[in-house]
Structure 1
Amino acid sequence: KWGLGNSRLTGGLLKIAALLEEGGVCGIPTDTVYALAASCKNPQAIEKIYNIKDRPAEKPICICISSVEQLVEAKPPFSPLLWEFMRNVYPGGISCIVSKGDWLFKLVFTSDSIMIRVPDHTVTCHLCDITGPLAITSANPSGEADSTHHSMLLLLWSTVLRLMKVKISLLHLFFFVCFNRHFLTQACLTFLSTGTITIVREGCVPAVKVRQIFDRLKSTMV
C-alpha cells in the first residue's frame, strides 16, 4: 500500500477519495490527460460522468486501477495471455479493451466492452489504491479535443456550474489539478478472445513495440 504523509497534497487526495466514496465525480490528473473520475462502487456516479460530458451511453469508459493485482479481486474471465500482457506493459500508456461480461456489467452500464489500464502516474495510482478501481474518461465534452491542459478543466467546470442549477445530481464535483504537466496520448488496443490484438489507436507507445511485446509473450505460452 502507498504510505500516507501529512502533506497538503495528501490532504487533497484524501478529500477526493472521500468524495468519490460518497458518489461524487472528481477531476484528476493522469499520465495522458486530465480526467473525470467516479468510483466503480457507485454506478450512479458513473452516470453523472456521462451527463457532464454529454457522452453517448454506447461509448465504453475506462477502468483505472493502481495495479493489475487490484483487478484480480474482481475475478474477470481473462486468459493467462491477457494477464501476462498486462503485467508486462503496466503501468503505462496502453489501454486494453476487453469484453466486459457479467463480472463488470452491474458496475459499468455501457456497451459490451471496457477499457482497462494502470496509469504511469503516482498521484492517480495512489488515489486508486485508496478508493479501489475508478471509472475515468477525459475531462472534455464528448467529441472535442482531449483535456491536456488544466484550463480545459476550468472551462468544463464553468459548464458544470451552469448545469448544476437544474441538475442537482451533479453536486460533489471537485477538481484536483496538477499544473505544468506534459501529457501523452494513450495507445488503445482490443484484446480478442482468439488470442490476437487489434490496435485501435496508436499513442505514446508505438504500435510496433506493442506487437513485439505481445508476440514475445504469446510465443512463450504456446
Structure 2
Amino acid sequence: MTWAMFSPPTLFAASYSNLVLLCLTFVMEVLIICFLLFTVEHLPVPLEIVMLSIFGAICIYGATASLANCIFGKDLIMMGPPLFRVEMTKEDTKEPPPCFCPSSHRTSSLRSIANLLNEGAVCGVPTDTVYALAASCKQPEAIEKIYRIKDRPQEKPICIFISNLDQLRAAAPPFSPLLWDFMENVYPGGIGCIIKKGEWLKKLGVGAGYDRVGTKDSIMIRVPDQTITVHLIDMTGPLAITSANPSGETDSTHHDMVISRLGHKLEGVLCDGESNEVVASTVVNCTKIDEGGITILREGCVPAAKVRQIFERVKNGAV
C-alpha cells in the first residue's frame, strides 16, 4: 500500500526522463494494482501473466539500452523522448570572461590582439613554452603596467621577443661571428640569449620602451618557435615579454590559468589551449661569449647540457 502511494509521484517524475522509464513506471503501478487484486482474489490470471511479461520485456530493453549507450557514449538504442520537457528558466550562470578572450585559430583574433598591443594594452599570449604577458616595445607605459599586474620587482628585467633573426640582422648590432653563429643554432626555440644593449635596439623597433626592457647594459632576446607568436610580432614589432603569472608563482600552462589569475587586470588573452611546455625558456648569458664563453642563468625547457653542446660545436666550427 505504501508503494502504491509513493509510485504516482515516481510516475510523474519519470515523465520528465524518457519513454522507457515512463512505461516501466506505469507498468509497475499496474502490477501493484494486480497484486492488490490478487490478495482479494479478484485478479484474472491472464492479466497477471500479460503484465509480468510486459514488465520483464521493458526491464530487459531498458537495461540493455542503458548499458550500450553508457559503454559507447552515444544513443545506440533509443530510450524515447520524455513526455514533458523542463524549460530552462534561468539564464546561463557562467560568467563572461573578465577580458577579451579570442581564439588563436582565427586571423581576426590575432589582428584584434595586435591592435590592443599597439594601442598600449597588456595581453596574455601563447608562446612556444608557457603563456606570457606581452606589451609593445613602443609603449613604455604598457611595459610599466606589466610590473604592476604581476607585482614584479622593478629590479627584474623584462626580455623582448622578435619574429626572426633577419629582423635582428637588419638592426646591425655589433655582434661577433661567434655570437651570430650561436644565435643561428638556438633560434628559433626555447633559449633566450642575454646580449649587450645598444642604440641598435631602436633600429630593431624597440622605440620608446628602450629604457624599460632589459637592464642598463644588457637585454635578453628570444625568437619563439611558434607560428602564432611570430605572426603576432610581425604585426606589432618587438614585444616586451614575461611569464603570465603573479610574481613568484608557477607558470601558466593554459589560457584558462591566465584568465583566472590575471584576466581582470588584462585587456585581452589570446586563447590557444595547453601550452607546448610546462616550464619557461632556458636563459643563457652571452655578454662575454668571446672572452669566457656562455653562462646558463636558468635551465628551462632546453637542458643546460644541450646548450653547452651547441656552443661547443659552434666554437669548434663543427656547424
- TM-score category (smaller protein): 0.7 to 0.9
Between the aligned partners of 1:118 and 1:194, the Cα distance in structure 2 is: 19
Greater shift, 29-38 or 99-108, is seen at 99-108
Amino acid aligned to 2:269 = F
In the TM superposition, what is the alpha-carbon distance from 1:158 to its structure 2 partner?
4.7
1:62 matched to 2:162? The reply is no
Select which of 86, 104, 114 maps to 2:183.
86
Equivalences, count:
204
What RMSD over aligned residues (CA atoms) do the two structures have, in Å?
2.2
* Aligned partner (choices 229, 235, 243) of residue 130 of structure 1: 235
Residue 210 (structure 2) aligns with = 107
- Uncovered stretches (5+) of structure 1, i.e. residues with no partner: 1-6, 161-169
Corresponding residue of 2:301: 204
Higher helix fraction: Structure 1 or Structure 2?
A: 2
1:65-214 equivalences in 2 (<5 Å): 65-104=162-201, 107-109=210-212, 110-111=214-215, 112-160=217-265, 173-185=267-279, 186-195=281-290, 196-214=293-311
Per-residue deviation at 1:192? 2.7
1: distance between equivalents of 2:229 and 2:253?
15
Name the SS for the 1:107 alignment partner: helix
Q: How many Å apart are 1:77 and its aligned residue?
A: 2.6
Structure with the larger strand share: 1
8 A contact 1:98–1:113 mirrored in 2: yes
Computing the radius of gyration from Cα coordinates, the structure with the larger value is: 2
Contact kept in structure 2, 1:42 and 1:107, CA below 8 Å: no
Helix, strand or coil: the match of 1:38?
strand
The higher relative CO (CA closer than 8 Å, separation ≥ 6) is in: 1
1:135-165 Cα distance to aligned partner (Å, 9 max, x none) = 11011111111112223211233552xxxxx
| 2:288–2:294 contact (8 Å) kept in structure 1 | no
Distance (whole Å) between structure 1 residues aligned to residue 276 and residue 223 of structure 2: 18
1:10 corresponds to 2:111:
no
**Residues 22-61 of structure 1 correspond to what in structure 2 (within 5 A)?**
22-61=119-158
